[in-house]
Amino acid sequence: MYLISDLLFVAAFYVVRYRYQVVEENIQKAFPEKDRAEQKRIIRLFYRNLCDFMMESLKGMTISDREINRRVIITEKQAIEQYFERGQSVLILTTHQFNWEWLLFACCLQLSAPMNPVYKKLNNNYYDRLMIKTRSRFGSKPIEMQETLMEIMRRKKTLNGFGLVADQIPLVNAEKYWTTFLNLDTAFFVGPEKIAQMTKYPVVFAGMRKLRRGQYEVYFRDIAEPPYKKHSHEILDRYVVEAEKILREQPESWLWSHRRWKYKKSFYE
């Protein structure tokens, strides 16, 4: 599997130069303090991790529970298990830090409550069904983004963990919260805050570190718990702090190929 990943890396980095301009621009904006050599090092390692992620995601269709438990270790889980022990469902916010697909599998297998990831429906129906089938392998019940609040309310009487990858760019006409992230004006979805306020669920952050090829470590951090203040963005502010912390620790493991800063703040105003 990793031999194929090595070949993909050669093609993506040296031949096709897959979204290279986007990756380079993002890293230059986010890390202006780093010299050119360090920026290039991050870019190169990112492409290696991206190719590994692609192959690991395919392997997710057949990987065993034993193999996931061997390759993804949750080292700090008390921040989330304390709520499950009280019979309290939890909102879990994470980032596009590799490998978030295996993060879901590990949570399903190693935590004491069912996991329910929120996903964005794919345009291709075949691949959308395949994605749902793969993500459901270890007992999770994926929720389509447009139905998030409705589905969470439907499952309110049962114990659950609801996972959201919260570092995506909001739609132009969507409500958003602006803050500074990696030295840049960055817009975030306000959905996680609204869901937490409506459900009164506590919120935790799930961080993921790549230890070496095919080996990951997961940890959880408290972000906020009710009662929540009205018109406050404490949840997103604390999420941004945790997201930036793990991203700066392992910048090569974040999804730099998506256009996170596609629009400037002035565009929305």
Structure tokens at 85: 């022990």
pLDDT score for 92: 98
Task: For residues 91-105, give the mean pLDDT.
Answer: 97
Residue-wise pLDDT tens digits, 66-81:
999 999 999 999 999 9
Residue ranges covered by each domain of the chain: 71-268
pLDDT score for 170: 86
pLDDT score for 28: 96
Alpha-carbon distance of 193 to 196, in angstroms, equals 5
Q: Which of 113, 187, 116, 114 has the alpha carbon at shortest distance from 147?
A: 116
Alpha-carbon distance of 92 to 61, in angstroms, equals 23
Pairing of strands 203-212, 215-224: antiparallel
Higher-pLDDT residue of 170, 110: 110
**138 and 62 in contact (C-beta within 8 Å)?**
no
**93 and 208 in contact (C-beta within 8 Å)?**
no
Is pLDDT above 80 for 267?
no
Map residue 220 onto helix, strand or coil: strand
Is pLDDT above 70 for 19?
yes
Alpha-carbon distance of 263 to 183, in angstroms, equals 15
Structure tokens at 17: 């130069």
Q: What are phi and psi of 116, to 5 degrees?
A: -135, 95
Q: Which of 100, 237, 256 has the alpha carbon at shortest distance from 164?
A: 100
Q: What percent of the chain has pLDDT over 90?
A: 87
Cβ atoms within 10 Å of 263's Cβ, excluding its own: 12
Higher-pLDDT residue of 153, 46: 46
Question: Average pLDDT, whole number, for the chain?
Answer: 94
Q: What is the DSSP letter of 63?
A: -
Alpha-carbon distance of 236 to 85, in angstroms, equals 25
**23 and 256 in contact (C-beta within 8 Å)?**
yes
> Which of the four pLDDT bands, split at 50, 70 and 90, describes residue 268?
low
Task: For residues 17-40, give the mean pLDDT.
Answer: 96
